[in-house]
Amino acid sequence: MRRRHRLRHLALISAILLPWAAMTAAASLPIVIAHRGASGYLPEHTLPAKAMAHAMDADFIEQDVVLTRDGVPVVLHDIHLDATTDVATRFPDRARADGRYYAIDFSLEEIRSLRAQERLGSDGQAVYPGRFPAHTGNFRVPTLAEEIDLISGLDHSRQRRTGLYIELKGPRFHRNEGQDIALRVLEVLREKGYDQRTGQVFLQCFDDATLRYLRHDLQTPLPLIQLIADPGWGEDSAVDYAFLQTAAGLDEVARYADGIGPWLEQIYLGRDASGEAVLSDLVALAHARGLQVHPYTFRSDALPEGIESFTALLDLFLNQVGVDGLFTDFPDLAREFLQDRRQYRTQQ
């Protein structure tokens, strides 16, 4: 089906099936989620990267969370410390048999003493060479509580209301280590007065069992996002990601979650022989069930094949596909794009 016909078809299905809530979401501007902060400019998940994202007027700022040995939620993407800190030089004899340094083997005090840095690949080279210079700067790994204090303080001084978008990393790994990451995160949110802020906090996870636990056992009222991975990435979940992308799978998701966070290449599938973008039906299927769609990760320095510019990528997802928000390492560029769109709408 050619793109225009396909989109018209999807729009018709959506118009018939979208419930009121989803209609409302679709009518408002999509949200900009600063992925690991303004991580295109400063090392991911450092407080400066979060302050910069705030200054760029991100709607939400993302926190990936793991636990320390003493059960404290810290903001770190990996369950390991080696790709984004100097742990290997500071504690050379603390690796496990696999050669990795696990955050859960270190106390908060030890993790606080590490220097956080731009992400390195297994070859020791910067994953994104055009970003903040590797091995440079005096950054730290923050706790979730410290980061909430920063965002809440900036909200006060800048007169804004910025959301938290918290991912629970490795919940099954943590459970095997005797820790309940969902419970620990909810405790911090309660302490900081964020546990009932349904319009200002999303909780996200690749593991469906953890989302069901949050909804049904811990009874959080916060909106939940089911992340969808590529099976090859080895995310910490037993869920069938192919099934999640079907109508039956999304029927299931709608029972415990409020939206999905797919990889953007599960929506944009490439180009056909005539050069048209090929799109999956994932967004229409999700919207038809009242689920929001927040794909990841939009990077101006790592474009998908067949996409000529970051603007073209944003145009495809925001103007043509119609997602409800997106995760980006460059929140300033997404904000600027949406601002232009708002002006365009005002002129109509």
Near ligand G3P in 140-179, by CB under 6 A: 167
Beta carbons of 29 and 334 less than 8 angstroms apart: no
Near ligand G3P in 111-130, by CB under 6 A: none
Determine which residue in the list 68, 143, 204, 210 makes contact with ligand G3P, applying CB under 6 A.
204
By CB under 6 A, tell whether 323 contacts ligand G3P.
no
By CB under 6 A, tell whether 327 contacts ligand G3P.
yes
Task: Pick what 261 binds: Ca ion, ligand G3P, none; C-beta below 5 to 8 Å, kind-dependent.
Answer: ligand G3P
DSSP assignments along 48-112, one per residue: HHHHHHHHTT-SEEEEEEEE-TT--EEE-SSSBSTTTBSHHHHSTT---TTS--BGGGS-HHHHH
Task: Pick what 324 binds: Ca ion, ligand G3P, none; C-beta below 5 to 8 Å, kind-dependent.
Answer: none
Find the largest Cα–Cα distance for the chain.
64
Q: Identify the CA nearest to 305 among candidates 337, 342, 339, 278.
A: 278
C-alpha to C-alpha distance for 137 and 280, rounded to whole angstroms: 42
Angle between helices 181-191 and 144-158 (to 10 degrees): 30
By CB under 5 A, tell whether 64 contacts Ca ion.
yes
Give the count of residues interacting with Ca ion (CB under 5 A).
2
In angstroms, what is the minimal distance from the CB of 62 to ligand G3P?
A: 6
CB nearer to ligand G3P: pick between 102 and 296: 296
Beta carbons of 254 and 223 less than 8 angstroms apart: no
By CB under 6 A, tell whether 227 contacts ligand G3P.
yes
In angstroms, what is the minimal distance from the CB of 165 to ligand G3P?
A: 8
In angstroms, what is the minimal distance from the CB of 200 to ligand G3P?
A: 17
Kindly provide the b/e burial profile for residues 71-90, where b requires at least 16 CB atoms within 10 angstroms of the residue's own CB: bbbbbbbbbbbbbbbebeee
CB nearer to ligand G3P: pick between 259 and 261: 261
Closest residue to bound ligand G3P by CB: 296
Dihedral angle computed from the Cα positions of residues 8, 15, 201 and 47, in that order, rounded to the nearest 10 degrees: 20
By CB under 6 A, tell whether 310 contacts ligand G3P.
no
By CB under 6 A, tell whether 207 contacts ligand G3P.
no
Footprint on this chain of ligand G3P (rule: CB under 6 A): 35, 64, 77, 167, 204, 227, 261, 296-297, 327
